[in-house]
Structure 1
Amino acid sequence: MQDHFFELIKNAIENYMPANKIFGLKIMEIKPGFTYIHVPFKEYFVGDFLQKRWHGGILASIADTTGGVAGVTCLQSPKDKLNTIDMRIDYLHAAIAHEDIYAKAKVIKNGKTIIKVDIQLFQDQNSEPIAVARCVYSVLRTKNEEKNIIDN
């Protein structure tokens, strides 16, 4: 059941969210409390046209989406709701144009009403992160008499 649930999440995130379709976002790995995402470079992601760097807002959107996907893996029912309530991002290095972005997110707190997630963005999978973020999501958990959907 868990694999089926994660495939549904992957399909919804990649194919039914217009911004993610524009990004070309692909979920490379998804498991409880973790996700790994790839976003290919596109020319219209450039924010600094003189130095040819990714736009910081695009990077923040990728971080928020990656964190949100990790958070969704902690939900207990398809009717549960997850919303971003806070986000902090530190840009450590410029994101160079013509290089893809990879993002990894790990849930650090799965509480009754909030989920906290740490996210790292990379351009080379073996390098230091170009940015780190922490996102906090509010969770509205529905009362569900069925077992946790990812435990079935």
Structure 2
Amino acid sequence: MSAGPSDDSDRDDRKRIAQQFIEAIPHARALGMRVDDLGPGRAVISMPWSDHLVGDPRTGVIHGGVVSALMDTCCGAAVMMHPASPRSTATIDLRIDYMRAAAPRQRITARAECYHMTRSVAFLRAVALDEDGENPVAAATGAFTAER
């Protein structure tokens, strides 16, 4: 079954809202985050590599805190995209496992999905990848508020 005109309109509205959500966060703007894809309870957000985001100048590797900020923001966007239509969200808990350093000079992409929603709490899983796209840089699980 294909999406009808109202489905497209609703998806465009939700994407606009999610992009505004990201643009309203000064830190996300400063990191150059971009919404790449959105769907029901999921989000894909990326950011470019930049010299000022490097944690170790000898290696050129992005600082772990930058990866954390990307994953946190992506999870928040996924909550906002949930079909329950929360009006706002905030991080309650976010556990991140760093698996390897991101490759220098590569865009980093976070993918998050809201896999369970209670009346007031959303539960998420996320992964961060560099351009190799196969081996995760980091994986996360989290809980976020879901104000309705």
Fold conserved (TM > 0.5)? yes
Distance 1:11 1:124 in 2: 22
Contact 2:42/2:82, CA 8 A, preserved across alignment: no
Distance 1:135 1:88 in 2: 6
Residue 114 of structure 1 aligns with an amino acid whose one-letter code is V
What is the aligned partner in structure 2 of residue 51 from structure 1?
59
Residue 12 of structure 1 aligns with an amino acid whose one-letter code is Q
Using the TM superposition, name which of 90-99 and 69-78 deviates more.
69-78
How many pairs were matched up?
A: 140
The CA RMSD over aligned residues, in Å, is 1.7
Using the TM superposition, name which of 7-16 and 51-60 deviates more.
7-16
Q: CA deviation at 1:114?
A: 0.6
Contact 2:46/2:109, CA 8 A, preserved across alignment: yes
Contact 1:102/1:125, CA 8 A, preserved across alignment: no
Q: Which has the higher contact order (CA 8 A, sep 6+)?
A: 1
Contact 2:123/2:142, CA 8 A, preserved across alignment: yes
Map residues 117-128 of structure 1 onto 2, 5 A cutoff. 117-124=124-131, 126-128=133-135
Identity among equivalent positions (%) equals 25
Distance 2:37 2:132 in 1: 14
Residue 143 of structure 2 aligns with an amino acid whose one-letter code is V
Contact 2:46/2:107, CA 8 A, preserved across alignment: yes
What is the aligned partner in structure 1 of residue 72 from structure 2?
64
- Among 17, 22, 27, the alignment partner of 2:25 is 17
- Among 99, 102, 121, the alignment partner of 1:92 is 99
Matched, 1:107 2:114: yes
Q: 1:106 to 1:100 in 2, by over 3 A?
A: same
TM-score (norm. length: structure 1): 0.83
What is the aligned partner in structure 2 of residue 146 from structure 1?
none
Distance 1:126 1:17 in 2: 26
What is the aligned partner in structure 2 of residue 38 from structure 1?
46
Residue 92 of structure 1 aligns with an amino acid whose one-letter code is M
Cα deviation 1:99-135 (Å, max 9, x = unaligned): 1101111111111111011000000253211100112
Distance 1:7 1:20 in 2: 16
Give structure 1 regions of 4+ aligned residues with deviation exceeding 4 angstroms.
Answer: 75-78
> Secondary structure of 1:81's match?
coil
Distance 1:108 1:10 in 2: 18
Residue 37 of structure 1 aligns with an amino acid whose one-letter code is I
